[in-house]
Amino acid sequence: MQAKQDIEFVNIAKTVGIVLVAVGHLTVPVNGLLFINSFHMPLFFILSGYLLSCSKYNLQSFAKRKAQTLLIPYLFFAVVSFLFWYFAGQKLIERESGVNPVKYLYGILLAIPSKEYLGFNIPIWFLPSLFCTEMIFFIYQKYIKRYTLIFCVFLFIVGTILKLYAGCRLPYGLDVGLFTILFLYSGYLLRKNNQIITYMQRLKPVLKYAGIIASGLLTYWFALLNGSSGNHVSVYTLQFYNYPVFLCSAFSGIIFTIMLSVSIPSHSLFRFFGRNTIVILGFHLMCFAILKGIQVFIFHISIETANDAYLLNFIYVLLAFAALAPVIYCINRFAPFLLGRKKTYYNS
């Protein structure tokens, strides 16, 4: 029963997280973007660490499994989204001029998290970066294991030094992994000390709601504090600004999402989308491009009408999720290997 409850909590948290990711890629008001970006990517590294299992794999089987579930989907999304960008995306929405398609192809191979290399579908940077992060963590946890927190803090410091003095990006989001391994380890610890989640689940509703409000307000305050100059945190570009404040906003935002997730009743929609956030990650920008194209070319409504409009942008997200539901079903039903799966995950 506890294992089932764990899965439900993770599915809800992943659904909440991917909604925030999608909203964050639209033109929302600055304060909303500051709030979302302050924790939404650390949240996914926490959840990945929570689901991570090291004991049942050796290095070869772990690398093979992670290549199937992260690198194969990355290549699939990269190829499809590049073809979409090349043949249709540039016509549907305004793009930066002078983009060299060959550089994008080069970018697919290098998987460098930047607009310069993955500008046709930036969110997919997460998949190769997570692969590198989990591989580093697995090797350390499997063969060394002691002083893991010190190791993660050390990598955080190394990442900071490289960012300040190296002046170049590493392939496969490895430089991002130097920072995010701390969140991965936190999720791993959370699973090992699962009584924390159990305690949250057993809280009285009034205490849960108080926790949601308090952690949400705290996250918002930290986000505004870190983005006082108008700049928002961007994990993939390594823009963290005030590092202690970033860590505070990230962890308080994660607590906010977890408290929210253990308070929301389970539903089949959370299982459906929570198990398939990877498809939404890979395809939601294409959906937005098509929706914006329909808005401009069919309904003749200026694209600027969605700027800073929470309601209209949320409708965009709902339409994108609805459009991707049959895509999720078809991939799981007919080609689950594209997601590194041997069986379907679309059912409840």
Q: Consecutive 10-residue runs of the chain (348 residues): their mean pLDDT?
A: 64 97 90 94 97 91 96 98 85 58 92 92 97 97 92 96 88 96 97 90 95 97 86 92 96 98 93 96 94 85 77 90 97 95 62
Prediction pTM value: 0.93
CA 42, CA 224: separation in Å to the nearest integer?
A: 17
Question: What pLDDT score was predicted for residue 199?
Answer: 92
Neighbours of 301 (CB within 10 A): 13
DSSP for 221-270, please give it: HHHHHHTTTSPPPBTTTTB-SSHHHHHHHHHHHHHHHHHHHHHSPP-HHH
Question: What pLDDT score was predicted for residue 91?
Answer: 60
Q: Report in angstroms the alpha-carbon separations of 103 from 81, 215, 285, 318, 334.
A: 15, 42, 20, 33, 32
Structure tokens at 162: 């490289």
Question: What pLDDT score was predicted for residue 292?
Answer: 86
Question: What pLDDT score was predicted for residue 305?
Answer: 78
